[in-house]
A and B are shown apart, each in its own frame.
Chain A
Amino acid sequence: MARSRPRAQAEAGPRLDERGQTLSALLPSVLHGVDASFGTALDEVVVVVEPGDVAEVCRIARQDPALDFDYLRSLSVVDYVERLEVSYHLLSLGKRHKMVVKTNLPPDDPRVPTVTGVWRGANWYEREGHDLFGVLFEGHPDLSPLLLYDGFEGHPGLRSFPFHEYDEW
């Protein structure tokens, strides 16, 4: 699957701060064994990796003393129709730098290894991603519906899910 390039930096808005620049200089050497592409989005360092490498990259991000990403800010899924993008927004409370790990999944069979073993807080975010977008987080302890009710059919987060086409009654 073709990996999409990280988006070019927008004209306006903030840029990478000093810590971000240090981090982006440091990343290629820390993640040398991983097939990753590096970029920026406004003031965030963005790392795009293959789906299979996500758990490994997150484990390194958490455990490597130079990175020390102990705090999972957010885990979001975005449906770009031709691909599903999963973003892991990370933060280091000690080092005070931040990073986004991204991966692109094929929409017909979105699978990505779970990161619940890295941050326990990822549990509900992944269940939410499974509920709303149908992403299968492999190895997750319990992917039962969280926000939707049992037996709900479909994944309402997807662009293809009819949501805004309703008639006034």
Chain B
Amino acid sequence: MQVHQQPTQQADAIDLMVNMGPQHPSTHGVFRLVIWVDGERIVRAEPHIGYLHRGSEKLCEGESYGQVITLFDRLDYVANLNSELGFCLAVEKLMGLEIPERAEYIRVILCELNRIASHMLFYGVYGLDIGAMTPVLYGFRERERVQALFEAVTGARMMHNYIRVGGVKEDLPDDFGRRMATLTDQLRRGIEECDELLSGNEMFLERTRGVGVIGPEDAVDYGVSGPGLRASGVAEDVRVSEPYGIYDRFEFGVPVGSAGDCWDRYYVRVEEMRQSLAIIDQAMERMEPGPIMAKVRRILRPPKGEVYVRSESPRGDFGVFLVSDGTDKPYRVKVRAPSFANLQAIQHMLRDAYVADAVIILGSIDIVLGEVDR
């Protein structure tokens, strides 16, 4: 059989534009992606963001330092505690505050739990993106256990407003040790179960290996951070390279990929959950009773100056640039959201990929539009 080929004026004629979103379950929020295709291949991709822009940074300028923490809860709404921590670290660094030991341990334990919860959500919805319906049930089951513990500790499943400048809001409940022992056991089993369910699946491997590749130089150039950067083979984790809090006291590994494809980005996260559990175990062992709040005034007035603080959120390098003019409200807060930088790189990852892989590549970046749009 001979296939008749229509002669075209331009060899690289592009004839189809596909619009994904802004309302589409695979975009993980309100996000629009416009792609130009040549047959089955993507020629160019243009992400459109801003649908969730609430002016959070500007809102911060009108709130007192204590109130700003609630706004940070709403940036990365899948990892609230990690966002809160980012802001509190910035204020504390500017004020030169010493945080009580116990508060530091509580922060580490809860933030690492939040990392597991966030990665579990990623695990579940990434399965959905690929067409596997079961992983989301397993992922959410594990995440729900963590949320239940958060509710017992902070009073809320999400939007905790628990980490405060100088420490944490209140001490852990009396049965925390017992609950944590059960939870870590369940999570340890849960992570292995999830790993077995999806990771070795032949179809999953076929669809993620070698898809959406980004090399280390390109990833660094685009400012990619977190699991996305480590999947490309760059061993950069703020907890290790620029330790904040008491992270320099724990022994844990930094999972690093090599291919920089969707599979590596997925598996780096699975492995990170195991490492987070290792940190939690060490912290639970060493935590001792004591004060949970440094001596700070009720109304905070950090000295005039500016500070830039990085911390490792589940999505990557969460930076806060804080300018203080000495009053009780921040003069300027700039959030360097990891998803914002990671999402830029999608233009690179999508080039020459198949249309059918667009959703998989987008899913592997694990964006949270709350912090992309701010």
Binding site for B on A (CB under 8 A): 7, 9-14, 41-42, 44, 70-74, 76, 78-79, 87, 89, 93, 96, 100, 119-121, 123-124, 132, 145-149, 156-157, 161, 163-164
Contact check, A147 vs B49: say whether CB atoms are below 8 A apart. Answer: yes
A39 → B minimal CB distance (Å): 12
Please list 17 pairs of residues, one from A and one from B, whose beta carbons are closer than 8 Å in the complex, sorted by A's number.
A11-B96, A13-B93, A70-B220, A70-B221, A71-B220, A74-B321, A74-B336, A76-B321, A76-B332, A120-B222, A124-B340, A145-B50, A147-B53, A156-B55, A163-B55, A163-B59, A163-B61
Given contacts A41-B307, A148-B53, contact A96 B241 (CB under 8 A): yes
Q: Which A residues touch B149, using CB under 8 A?
A: none
The B interface, classified by DSSP as helix, strand, loop or mixed, is: mixed
Contact check, B321 vs A41: say whether CB atoms are below 8 A apart. Answer: no
Residue of A nearest to B225 (CB): A71
Distance, CA A7 to CA B61, complexed state (A): 21
A-B contact count (CB 8 A): 110
| 0/1 interface trace, chain B 30-71, chain A, CB 8 Å (1 if under) | 000000000000000000011001010111011000000000
Contact check, A87 vs B223: say whether CB atoms are below 8 A apart. Answer: no
Residue of A nearest to B92 (CB): A13
Contact check, B93 vs A14: say whether CB atoms are below 8 A apart. Answer: yes
Distance, CA A148 to CA B307, complexed state (A): 27
Q: Which B residues touch A42, using CB under 8 A?
A: 93-94, 305-307
Given contacts A7-B304, A119-B223, A146-B50, contact A13 B58 (CB under 8 A): no
Q: Which B residues touch A149, using CB under 8 A?
A: 50
Contact check, A74 vs B319: say whether CB atoms are below 8 A apart. Answer: yes
Please list the 10 inter-chain residue pairs (A to B) with the smallest Cβ-Cβ separation, ordered nearest first.
Answer: A12-B96, A121-B223, A74-B336, A76-B334, A164-B62, A147-B50, A13-B96, A10-B305, A147-B53, A121-B222
Q: Which B residues touch A13, using CB under 8 A?
A: 93-96, 305, 307
Q: Which A residues touch B220, using CB under 8 A?
A: 70-71, 93
Distance, CA A121 to CA B218, complexed state (A): 10
Contact check, B332 vs A93: say whether CB atoms are below 8 A apart. Answer: no
Residues 96 to 111 of chain B near chain A (Cβ within 8 Å): 96-97
Cβ-neighbour of A148 out of B50, B62, B344 (below 8 A) = B50
Distance, CA A72 to CA B304, complexed state (A): 25
Contact check, A41 vs B221: say whether CB atoms are below 8 A apart. Answer: no
Residue of A nearest to B54 (CB): A147
Contact check, B58 vs A163: say whether CB atoms are below 8 A apart. Answer: yes
B153 within 8 Å of A by Cβ?
A: no
Distance, CA A1 to CA B372, complexed state (A): 35
